[in-house]
Amino acid sequence: MNKQTIRDIDWSGKRALVRVDFNVPLDKDGNITDDTRIRASLPTIRYLLENGASVVLMSHLGRPKKKVVESMRLRPAAERLFELLPEAQEVKKTEVTTGPAAEAAAESLKPGQVLLLENTRFDPREEANDPEMAQELAKLGDVFVNDAFGSAHRAHASTEGVAHHLPAVAGFLMEAELNALMGALEHPQQPFVTIIGGAKISDKIGVIENLLPKVNALIIGGGMANTFLLAQGYALGDSLVETESLDLARSLIEKASAANVKLLLPTDAVIADAFSADAQQQVVAVDSVPDGWRILDIGPETIKLYQEALEGAKLVIWNGPMGVFEMEPFAKGTRSIAQVLADAASTNAMTIVGGGDSVAAVEQAGLADKISHISTGGGASLELLEGKVLPGVAILRDK
Ligand code: ADP
Ligand code: MG
């Protein structure tokens, strides 16, 4: 990675202003139901504390729509952080994000101490990337650390604006994400196979177009495979299709063939007579989907075909489930691919999974720790795979 990280700074006596992603799910009583994101920030915070810094943290939580929403305060996150980080003698928490009270709290910090500011999105200026808010934030630290990869595709005051006023470097989570995703794309090991699925072709067009010239094989599954099948003339009953993307599907098929990229589409499917877990279901070839039925997963023959295409791959990037995995009867295709990636990773291949639902599916299958890299940023990882420059990364100091 060509960006400076927290290793490039002498932290002794400095105050680090760290953008983290504490956007954790809360139940209706305000209890954190999954603290993965808080845990993911610990290596960076620990490193800063161990190297003599004090730490001011900022994050958004939920979508408070530019005003204070009591249920979206970061108090529970501060409490959980303290449980996870007992070596900080205390995790202070302000009820404001910027201004005199935040400045006083930040200035009172001694090396080894941690302060969490209030939800950045309570301030209407955050999402507008308002330069005044950025300046107010910058008063709270000596060096800006961006460790919120999942928010790096947004140019907000706390992710981008603030970096115009302070030296800015990457935290460890940010570094790991960039190393994995950008590293893979800059120097892809061959054979390089990409698996794209999910609901809609229109969501993934940027990813497909960016990866197509780099891959040896492109595997398509999920609802978006339907539009490719339709483009080839198959009748698909009530399956989800995007008729407005038919030309796009055709042009991608042509591009793949011109670039000598093997494009794999499902040959059979699990179909159901309703969009429901207890609908009637059967496995059919893709040329035999009856009227009134819909494709909800790839079939066993397709799973085998995809397994074979992944054999020997040195780099695999996967985004988008193979079927409606949220319903048990249609989860098999997605789970089988997750297993293939887990096995491939154990035989020396680099396997990367990105995308909110894909990551959820891998976690549901209990295979997350067997994948080389699970990207924590849904939208941000997609934009990186699209070849875009993320504003929260662009502003970091170059090496
Ligand atoms: P990610 O979040 O990993 O980028 P997407 O959001 O693009 O993935 O797609 C995930 C969604 O696609 C899931 O909700 C899944 O149910 C849906 N999906 C997958 N296959 C089908 C299908 N055959 N028909 C309808 N929806 C599908
Ligand atoms: Mg999704």
312 close to 258: Cβ distance less than 8 angstroms: no
- Number of domains into which the chain is organized: 2
- pLDDT tens digit string along 8-28? 999 999 999 999 999 999 999
32 close to 80: Cβ distance less than 8 angstroms: yes
State percent of the chain over pLDDT 90.
94
Q: Please give all residues whose CB falls under 5 A of ion ligand 2, grouped by chain where several chains appear.
A: 356-357
Helix axes 75-84, 36-50, angle to 10 degrees: 60
How close is the Cα of 324 to the center of ligand 2, in Å? 11
pLDDT at 345: 81
pLDDT at 346: 84
399 in a structural domain: no
How close is the Cα of 277 to the center of ligand 2, in Å? 20
Q: Which atom of ligand 1 is nearest to the CA of 269?
A: 23
Average pLDDT over every residue of 257-266: 96
Same domain flag for 68 and 202: no
DSSP 21-33: -----B-TTS-BS
Same domain flag for 274 and 255: yes
- Best residue for ligand 1 mutational test, from 295, 324, 386 (most atoms within 8 Å of Cβ): 324
Q: Which of 173, 193, 214 is the last residue of a domain?
A: 173
Same domain flag for 302 and 373: yes
Q: Which of 117, 143, 173 is the last residue of a domain?
A: 173
Average pLDDT over every residue of 277-298: 98
- Best residue for ligand 1 mutational test, from 357, 359, 375 (most atoms within 8 Å of Cβ): 357
Average pLDDT over every residue of 346-359: 91
More confident residue, 378 or 371: 371
398 in a structural domain: no
Report if pTM > 0.85. yes
Same domain flag for 236 and 149: no
How close is the Cα of 354 to the center of ligand 2, in Å? 10
Contacts with 53 (C-beta within 8 Å, 6 or more apart), sequence order: 11, 12, 13, 14, 15, 16, 111
69 in a structural domain: yes
31 in a structural domain: yes
162 close to 120: Cβ distance less than 8 angstroms: no
Same domain flag for 164 and 242: no
pLDDT interval class at 378 (50, 70, 90): confident
Same domain flag for 154 and 41: yes
Report which DSSP code applies to 3.
Answer: B
- pLDDT tens digit string along 117-174? 999 999 999 999 999 999 999 999 999 999 999 999 999 999 999 999 999 999 999 9
Range of the domain at 49: 6-173
Burial category of 288 from C-beta neighbours within 10 Å (exposed 0-12, middle 13-18, buried 19 and up)? middle
pLDDT for residue 377 is more than 90: no
Same domain flag for 120 and 199: no
pLDDT at 1: 82
Average pLDDT over every residue of 270-284: 97
Same domain flag for 42 and 185: no
Residue ID of nearest Cα to ligand 1 atom 22 = 223
